[in-house]
Amino acid sequence: MSTRKLALAFILSIVFLVGVPTFLGMLTWVRITDLYRGYNDTELFVTIPPGSGSAEIARALVDAGIVKDMWAFRAALWWSGDARKLKAGEYRFDRPMSALDVIGKLARGDVFGRRVTFPEGLTIAEMAKIYESHELGKGSDFIAAARDVSLVADLDPAAKDLEGYLFPETYTLPRGIPAARMIRTMVDRFKTVFTPEMRQRAVDQGMTVRQIVTLASLVEKETAQADERPLVAAVYRNRLTIGMGMQADPTVVYALQKAGRYDGNIRRQDLAFDSPYNTYRYPGLPPGPIASPGRASLEAALAPADVKYVYFVSRNDGTHVFASTLDEHNRNVQKFQVEYFRAQRAQRK
């Protein structure tokens, strides 16, 4: 008897023994669990547009070589019961997969995402560079989308852009995420972190959300030390209380940046630069945030330390020394600035 006849006889014997429905079920199971890879690239991306039906999804996956054929996809879809759960998005494939595994991936919405970190203390322009550098889109589109102040109208009706309201965090993002969607995601995250309870605390303290976020942005730019944030916030709060100028160097930097005149250094003459953001020239807080503060700086702005400090100066090691009087501050400046840099110059000679 030929090999073909033997195989047919074997199949017929199985059908006879287990029955037609069971046999078809076995065939289906084998087909939908069989690993398949019909593409040669190391990785392959397939985008499922929103609103796609199962037939469209099947055709996209079969054409891409992810699933062997339409029958395998439909059988896996029926077997899984996930026909109504398939989600749109961009999916990454880099290994052989069964049709059932592919269905599971789409049902879970296991879309491809890039982890992108926006550190604390960045401006909109600086965040735009990160957005573009990760090939998410054009930086100019990010900046344009950050002008949609309607997103914070409930928090800050005076906002002219979203400076300070794009929350700094690590986001998992699909490739090519539209700038407007990215901006909305960051604002939504800010609103989640800056809770209604925190907003009420601002009101109870006689401050607007804009003032708190502005103060928090100063704190964020002045120190990266967690234990110093409440102290820096206290310094600026105390200065506001007694009518003393903020005299914050980061506001000068921001003013120069907005004017396209910042080259990485502040010179004595820059302290006189005419900008409402220059707190050496104009009293009180600047008109708005100068960067995006993180959670800790927002908390510090709402809960400054109970101290009388109104001065601080860098120790040149990432920390600061604080003072309550001008005499004490002048001694600190002499020690940590004048004498320190004098010693540095002497070592270089």
Q: What is the pLDDT of residues 268-281, one digit of tens each?
A: 899 999 999 999 99
Taking residue 127's Cβ as centre, other Cβ atoms within 10 Å add up to 26
Average pLDDT score over the chain: 90
Q: 261: pLDDT confidence band, cut at 50, 70 and 90?
A: very high
Strands (E), 258-328: 311-314, 320-323
**Phi-psi domain of 311 (left: phi exceeds 0; alpha: psi -120 through 50; beta: other):** beta
Burial per residue of 232-270, b for 16 or more beta-carbon CB atoms within 10 angstroms, e otherwise: bbbbbbbbbeeeeebbbbbbbbbbbeeeeebeeeeeeeb
Which residues make up the CATH 3.30.1490.480 domain(s) of the chain? 15-108
CATH of 15-108, one of 3.30.1490.480, 3.40.50.620, 3.40.50.300, 3.30.70.870: 3.30.1490.480
Long-range contacts of range 188-197, CB-CB < 8 Å, 24 or more positions apart?
Answer: 190/165, 190/166, 191/155, 193/167, 193/295, 193/298, 194/155, 194/298
Cα radius of gyration rounded to whole Å, the chain: 31
Lowest-pLDDT choice from 17-21, 139-143, 185-189, 261-265: 17-21
